[in-house]
């Protein structure tokens, strides 16, 4: 039953990521800025061929390989930990779905679709990036509070 819940969470989170990327590609032009909350949050469509802040652009085959291996490592870690709590499962689901979402982009297009732009943050990112960071922070918190052994 827990595996079914995990797969369901991954599917929903992956749909959210890929759906928002499709929506932005459909309704925005590359580089177009669309204010959501003026002076705070905007949508700005970019194609990021690198990793965070565009680092390592031009190394797409290597990045695909690294992302694929890291995704397998996360799945392997899930199997080893055998998560008991909902929050531990959610943390892994966030990591796995975010990794798969960006990997799909990189394989399909050779870049990742980014669109979330905060005025005070120097990078533009996407839902998958948020999922990865949130999942990693959740698992770290659970580990530090001894909820993960």
For residues 105 and 83, what is the distance between their CA atoms, to the nearest angstrom? 28
129 classed as catalytic: yes
Of the candidates 92, 129, 139, 142, the residue annotated as catalytic is 129
Of the candidates 17, 105, 114, 131, the residue annotated as catalytic is 114
Cβ atoms 135, 91 nearer than 8 A: yes
For residues 126 and 3, what is the distance between their CA atoms, to the nearest angstrom? 26
96 closest CA partner among 2, 1, 9, 3: 9
CA angle 86, 92, 97 (to 5 degrees): 120
105 classed as catalytic: no
Catalytic residues: 114, 129
């Amino acid at each position: 039953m827990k595996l079914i819940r995990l797969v369901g969470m991954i599917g929903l989170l992956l749909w959210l990521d890929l759906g928002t990327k499709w929506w932005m590609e459909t309704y925005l032009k590359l580089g177009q800025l669309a204010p959501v909350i003026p002076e705070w949050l905007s949508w700005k469509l970019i194609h990021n061929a690198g990793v965070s802040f565009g680092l390592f652009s031009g190394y797409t085959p290597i990045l695909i390989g690294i992302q694929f291996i890291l995704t397998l490592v996360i799945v392997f870690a899930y199997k080893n930990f055998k998560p008991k709590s909902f929050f531990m499962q959610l943390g892994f689901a966030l990591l796995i779905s975010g990794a798969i979402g960006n990997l799909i982009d990189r394989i399909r297009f050779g870049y990742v679709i980014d669109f979330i732009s905060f005025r005070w943050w120097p990078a533009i990112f996407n839902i998958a990036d948020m999922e990865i960071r949130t999942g990693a922070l959740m698992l770290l918190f659970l580990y530090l509070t001894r909820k993960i052994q």
